[in-house]
Amino acid sequence: MIKLTNTMKPFHHLAVLFLLTGLTASCHETTENKETIEDGFLTITSNGKSTFSVFVQPGLNNNATAFIEDIRKATGATLALSTTPGQDDSKEIILGDCRQYAEAIKPIKEKLHHGYSVKASGNKIFIIGTDNAWTTLGMEFLCVNIMTKPEYCSEGTFKIPDTFSHTQDSEDPQLIASLLSRGRTFDLVPVEVGICPREGDFKVAQGAASDGEFVYFTMKGNEDSSTHDSDVRIYKYSLSPFEFKGVSETFNGHHANDMTYDTKNGRILVVHGSGASQNLTAITTKPAMGKPSVITTTLGIGGLSYNAKRDIYGITQGGSKYQTADASFKLIKNYGRNDNMKSTYTAQGMGSDDSYVYFPMSPNSNSPEKVNLLVVYDWDGRYVGNLKIPLTIESESMFYAAGEYYVVFYDKAAALYRVYPGLSYRSQVKS
């Protein structure tokens, strides 16, 4: 659940989603005026002038510039953009996790799972997100819910209660899905989490999956060119901190194209793909990884993703097939794929959240851009679009777990990256 705290009254879920898109909501529904007005105000601009500056962390400069322009359009005052922190008595809006203010920011971030906080403290306003996308959404919130309201911004004066504090936070935000469903466009920003290194002959990274606490990597040995038989092992790491925790028994996983985590049955499912496309290897994971066992289906499977909310599987093969199957691997519907990306990119596995399925595709010699893609469909088979990841190394698998999206790449090992939206600030103020 998403929760709002302190001086902001709770919205319901739909109203929270309005905040994600920067759509205007009634400030009268969200701000407790009587108590905060008695406490006084922090005046950001007065009569079209300001003594405030905006201090921004690296990577947010363009969004900060757009944020400052919204303040100018609303008040006539242009705040200075600074990458150098002011003095203790300086009036500043702090955007993002600026290390120069680590001591003040730490207690704010410690309360966040995935989200942002907008907080007035002394002569400073902190807008802090768990990543740059969330910080940007916090900036949009301040403008759409406060700065557009005449009781806080009129005739060149913009002020907020000096005790103002608003938090939007969630353990399961599915942020990419929320933004896509509201028409936001963005590329993805990759952040390396850790490396599962090769071990002897087990050197080729394939599928990956997570139960939210641990991440499991498929590492394949030498593959027979005719039968596609190959020795496969699953390597287990904790997600945070990223640490090695164990390895499975060796089994014949053929090409081991992909993997998903079946939360209903507490097991990982390894897709054999080339050589035995109807086969899956199941391994229970708790309290430790159990013995591998083979499940034979009637479906040709190259990529697989289980969704717990729907209790169904998404299935792909070769970049042209998209099907759904029930918990017993009986076909529900065959949608196909009409994105035509397979002609210029190499198809890999797949992942999903409650709203969408994502097909990672890596660049090849025919690709117009040397970037990786997540090709997005909804669960009803409709093509949504492509999300770019600015890396040239080969993607292998994708999953959503513990409130974050992850992609595994093969770069002489299994390289796990978290990806988040490279969101551009969307103006909230009309000229």
Task: List Cα–Cα distances, 54 to 15, 65, 87, 107, 333, in angstroms.
Answer: 28, 9, 13, 21, 52
CA distance 184 to 269: 33
- Whether omega before 241 lies within 30 degrees of 0, making that bond cis, reads yes
- Residue 27: its pLDDT value, please? 31
Instruction: Work out the pLDDT band at 39, boundaries 50, 70, 90.
Output: low
| pLDDT greater than 50 at residue 24 | no
Q: Is residue 386 a contact partner of residue 187, using CB atoms and an 8 Å limit?
A: no
* Integer Rg of the chain from CA: 24
The domain locations on the chain are 2-173, 187-422
- Region 400-405: mean pLDDT is 97
- CATH fold for domain 2-173: Chitobiase; domain 2 (3.30.379)
DSSP states along 66-94: HHHHHHHHHHS--PEEESS---TT--EEE
Distance from C-alpha of 60 to C-alpha of 13, rounded to nearest angstrom: 28
When pLDDT is averaged across residues 251-272 and rounded to a whole number, the result is 97
pLDDT at 85: 82
Q: Is the pLDDT of residue 227 over 50?
A: yes
pLDDT tens figures, 356-390 = 999 999 999 999 999 999 999 999 999 999 999 99
Residue 83: the pLDDT is 79
First-to-last alpha carbon distance for the chain, in angstroms, is 36
Flag whether pLDDT at 14 surpasses 60. no
Percent of the chain with pLDDT over 70: 91
Return the number of other C-beta atoms located less than 10 Å from residue 260's C-beta: 29
In this structure, are residues 167 and 5 in contact, taking their beta carbons and an 8 Å threshold?
Answer: yes
Q: Count helices and strands (H / E) in the chain.
A: 6, 32
Mean pLDDT of the residues in the chain: 90
pLDDT higher than 60, residue 259: yes
Q: What is the pLDDT of residue 164?
A: 94
Give the up-direction half-sphere exposure of residue 306: CA atoms within 13 A in the CB hemisphere.
Answer: 23
Do 2-173 and 187-422 have matching folds? Answer: no
pLDDT for position 89: 85
What residue ranges in 379-412 does DSSP mark as E strands? 383-389, 394-401, 404-410
- pLDDT, one tens digit per residue, over 119-132 is 999 999 999 999 99
Q: What is the pLDDT of residue 417?
A: 98
Beta-strand runs (E) in 198-286:
204-210, 214-223, 230-238, 243-247, 251-252, 258-262, 267-271, 279-284
d(CA 19, CA 360): 29
> pLDDT grade, residue 28 (50/70/90)?
very low
| pLDDT tens for each residue of 303-360 | 999 999 999 999 999 888 999 999 999 999 999 999 999 999 999 999 999 999 999 9
pLDDT for residue 32 is more than 50: no
Alpha carbons 317 and 198: distance in angstroms, whole number: 26
Instruction: Tell me the CATH architecture of domain 187-422.
Output: 6 Propeller (2.120)
pLDDT tens digits, one per residue of 47-90: 999 999 999 988 899 999 999 999 999 999 999 998 788 888 89
Summarize pLDDT for 129-176 with one digit per residue, the tens. Answer: 999 999 999 999 999 989 989 999 999 999 999 999 999 999 999 999
Q: Which residue type occupies 350?
A: M
Say if residue 218 is exposed, middle or buried (CB neighbours under 10 Å; 0-12, 13-18, 19+): buried
